[in-house]
Amino acid sequence: MERLDSHRILVTGSASGIGRATTLRLLAEGARVVATDVAEEGLAETAELARKAGAAERLRTAVLDVSDETAVNTVVADAIAGLGGLDALVNVAGMLRGAHTHECSLELWNRIIAVNLTGTFLVTRAALPALLEGGHGVVVNFSSTSAQFAHPFMAAYSASKGGILSFTHSIAQEYGKQGLRAVNINPGSISSGITENIFSLVPEDTDWNLFTKLSPVLGEGYGSPDTVAGVVAMVVSEDGAFITGTEIRIDGGTHQ
């Protein structure tokens, strides 16, 4: 028997990077998963990888913009109905755009907050009744090392991730006596769509000397998304049964 046999899990941001790796790891451990993302083509690629791994029958995909309240309510309800309930929610979906803070437009600020922070809230709110129903639900939210350590040119992103950090602590306390666990995953120095495209996501005149401390001490470069996916699988399983209201930082020792 796999560690996550019979577990019913909803994952956002599954079209690439950490979200894709997490989806595939949860499937590999026996879970039934509904995977969502705004990128339909990337979702199809994730589904193809699941098929090659022999897990296609336990995966459903749905296109979802987590900042769209109506779409969130519909997709989450459909996911819960299709799975017959919900044991865990993994909120990976997010976006990063950098700017000099004095040049950051309100439009950009609001968009980052809408996707990262409000999106996490909307999906969690829609999923909470089903998660509470079983008495052992788990919410895994993706904050970031940027919520606690300096990441220049990323004020909006860092603020959104700091909000997620606090939000997770709040629901962990609010619903703990009803059996809900809520945990923040704080990745840093992980290869993903964001890190691979970082040069196009920050200002052209970025002072890269300000990033000299943002390097892992383990290995020879950034970590694999699989290293994060394995931790998520542990948290949502019984192996994580006494973990709640806290952060797990996965950054290869970048922020010591």
Give the residue numbers marked as catalytic.
157
Q: How far is CA 96 from CA 29, 140, 161, 175, 195, in A?
A: 30, 19, 10, 30, 9
Please name the amino acid found at residue 109.
W
d(CA 81, CA 29): 22
Q: How far is CA 70 from CA 9, 107, 149, in A?
A: 21, 21, 34
Closest CA to 34 of 93, 79, 101, 81: 79
